[in-house]
Amino acid sequence: MGCCFSRSAGPNSPHPGGVPDASSRAGNPPLLTLPEGILSGGSQTASSVRRRRRDQAHRDQPRRERPPLDQHINRPLRKHEWTSGQRRWTRRELAKERVEFFETRVVCRPEIWQTLHAALQVLWEASPEDSQDEDSALATAQTILNAAEISLPTGDLVNGAYDSLGNLYALPEYIVSDPDNLADDNDPDFKGDTSTAEDETAGEEDDVDSEEAERRREEKGKGVLDEREMVTLRARLSETGQDIIVPVTKTDSVRSVVKKITEISVAPSEKKIRLAYMGKILKENLSLEAQGWQVGHVINALVFNR
């Protein structure tokens, strides 16, 4: 007597008749079990971890230090070349308007304007036909600018100069250099004021006379004064930065002071020394006192090739 067995469904089975058939399984697929991390917000936690790691790596990187505010971009001084388009200049007109330009500067620091004027005078006096003379003038002018801590972002004075405090000093082209198409002063088409040239010539003659008188007085020994009037002057050489102590009087001419500095520093014969004070080149035929020097102040001794 055979027995027939059938699988009976449990009390909670969705299929009371036993095992579900194929059609039932297709309509009701089994539930999928999702990873525990997704249900608990694990993806957000992983994103937070990655973000924290990225921030930590950024903090661990060395920071790029910015240069101090007092360090400005400074390029070597170079010659400015230009051609005047709207106007043709004569040398006499340039000389006159350059004097007026520097006499009317009222903004920024006056000693910086004086230094720029002194550096430009060296460049103006250089011969454009002699490349060595121009190179020597550029080197001398660069030394003058460096002594006053004047920086040139592009190396061209037309693009502006800055002092150590960050003040801008703007210089037009006709102040910086002569144009390529400079007109002749004797050209009949140009009727400039000849009084300026005559005054300059007279001033140069006066300088020569005073220089000769000073030289003769020193040779005769009339320049020797009482020792109680002697003071010490500290001159700083531009080549080495060395300070030279020189016994002088406040009424000594700059020429005699230069001679003493040359003897003490044993400067080579091919070197020339010019003195600068408060950013201004001192005139050799005048005394230190007449040009504003005060006892105890350092004088800059600018050394350059003859």
Domains of the chain: 71-193 (no CATH), 225-305 (3.10.20.90)
| Token digits of residue 180 | 């390529």
The predicted pLDDT at position 187 comes to 62
Instruction: Say how many C-beta atoms besides its own lie within 10 A of residue 13's C-beta.
Output: 12
The predicted pLDDT at position 12 comes to 52
| Token digits of residue 253 | 């001419």
Q: How far apart are CA 101 and CA 194, in angstroms?
A: 19
Rounded to 10 degrees, the C-alpha dihedral 98/101/104/108 comes to -120
Share of the chain above pLDDT 70, in %: 64
The predicted pLDDT at position 33 comes to 54
Q: Token match 């579900």: residue? A: 20
SS3 84: coil
Report whether pLDDT(64) > 60. Answer: no
Q: How far apart are CA 42 and CA 54, in angstroms?
A: 19
- How many CA within 13 A on the CB side of residue 24? 8
pLDDT, greater one: 136 or 14:
136
| Token digits of residue 291 | 């040009």
